[in-house]
Structure 1
Amino acid sequence: MGTAVKLFIAWAAAYLLGSLPPGILWAKVLKHIDVRQHGSGRTGGTNVWRTSGSLAALLTAICDGFKGAAGIWIAKALGLSPWAVALTGALGIVGHNYSLYLGFTGGAGTITSLGIASAMWGGNLPLLLIPAIAVVGLVGHASVASILIALSLPGLSYWHGGWPYALGFGLPTMLLTLWALRPNIKRLSKREERFLPIFYEKPPLIQISKHTPQKRESE
């Protein structure tokens, strides 16, 4: 099998797998709603959590992570170069954010990028995951953790595998994520960003946005 054919298989698979929208599936199955018509309209785990409950969000996150990792597994199985593997990861994010099946709309790609990073870096994933969880627990905004993860990806990708991973995966993923999070960044600047459901009633330790207690929806 020629290199061009291998590249086509890996890149097409990464984009098509990335385009799969598990958030829509789990919101429909567990809450009987179209998640695109509620909340932020995104199909990722955060909006699914707000609109469809924690179980739907957990299942969405698992699926989003695995679909990102699957593209990397395929690229590695085909014996592609580091540059090709890195670009495979970036195409998985493109698929998630601009899904072929959803009219080129989607999420912000954070969980999918973690799945891709886990397939690339293996045991180094906690370098991203643990600080992200800590940030969410302190400020109550998933978007803040997503921004920090995105900003760290080029440097961590370079540390892991040099320029191919930094320029082929880290940099484009950072730009794609920050572009998708433009509305969140605007709300953060106005201190109007939405809190995660666990902080609806009680504010987080560090309040970046103004907190108004509200009832949690039944899950």
Structure 2
Amino acid sequence: MSEVVKILLSLLGSYLVGAIPFGLIVVWVARRQDVRRIGSGRTGGTNVMRAAGWLAGAITAILDVLKGVATGWIARALVPENPWVLVGSALLAVVGHNYSVFLIEKREQGGIRFKGGAGGATAFGGAIAIWPPIWMYILPIGVLVYLFMGYASVTTISVAVVTTVVFTVRALQGEATWIYVLYGVAVLGVVLYALRPNLERLRRGTERAVGLRAYLQKRHGQRGGSSMNSGNQNAMP
């Protein structure tokens, strides 16, 4: 098999692996519902959690991470010691996750569109495929952002940002090639493009909260409601 054919197989195989809609499958198995018709319509872990609970969301997130990790196995098996193919394969897994060939839909105004997720979990897996220890940086920062900043979209963006920063620092220290930095930058672009509606809601202050922010908002709303009820009761003759 020629080198060119191996490269094409790695890139195509990685896209197809990334395109597997695990979120759609998990929600269908758990609830017999189409996750594309629920919430944001995405197939990632956050929307799956809204549709079928935290366990389904966690299972989906893990499977989506593994899609990215698998690209490392594919690329290294077919084209060993080629950082361009490794980066390209990891990136195409994220593209496959966001724009899955298995989730083609017709647009009402004509044409077709490819549905999927926002790419955070698969981007995380792709970063692990390139340099496994990076999980020690991405995971704790992502958890902190999720819990305390309180937006799933910002958490997704943080994965790409941390990936870019870590690979840049390693390249500056001479510990890795600058090609890996391109993965972080490209993934950041893909994620930001997918999250355009979320970024607009963040600008407007209408993005749905998660983590501690959601908890505090809920408590504040309950207290506000209790105060209003008390006020109404006191006003009654």
The answer to whether TM tops 0.5 is yes
Residue 156 of structure 1 deviates from its aligned partner by 2.2
Tell me what 1:21 maps to: 21
1:80-137 residue CA offsets vs partner (Å, 9 max, x unmatched):
5111111111111110111000012111100001111112211221111101101111
* Structure 1: unaligned runs, 5 residues or longer: 214-219
Residue 170 of structure 1 deviates from its aligned partner by 1.4
- How far apart in 2 are the matches of 1:5 and 1:80? 16
Alignment coverage as a number of residue pairs: 206
Aligned residue runs from structure 1 range 36-185, under 5 A:
36-78=36-78, 79-103=80-104, 104-160=114-170, 161-167=176-182, 169-185=183-199
Residue 155 of structure 1 deviates from its aligned partner by 2.8
Amino acid across the alignment from 1:36: R
Tell me what 2:227 maps to: none
Residue 2 of structure 1 deviates from its aligned partner by 1.9
Residue 148 of structure 1 deviates from its aligned partner by 2.1
- How far apart in 1 are the matches of 2:34 and 2:210? 19
Residue 151 of structure 1 deviates from its aligned partner by 2.6
1:161-184 residue CA offsets vs partner (Å, 9 max, x unmatched):
3321112x2121110000001111
- How far apart in 1 are the matches of 2:210 and 2:216? 10
Q: 1:192 aligns with which of 177, 195, 206?
A: 206
TM-score (norm 2): 0.81
Tell me what 1:203 maps to: 216
- How far apart in 2 are the matches of 1:52 and 1:199? 21
Name the larger-Rg structure: 2
1:1-20 residue CA offsets vs partner (Å, 9 max, x unmatched):
32101101110110000000
Aligned residues with identical type, % of pairs? 39
Residue 197 of structure 1 deviates from its aligned partner by 7.4
Amino acid across the alignment from 1:58: A
* Structure 2: unaligned runs, 5 residues or longer: 105-113, 171-175, 223-237
Amino acid across the alignment from 1:116: G
Tell me what 1:216 maps to: none
1:5-57 residue CA offsets vs partner (Å, 9 max, x unmatched):
11011101100000000000010111221000010000000011111111111
CA RMSD of aligned residues (A): 2.0
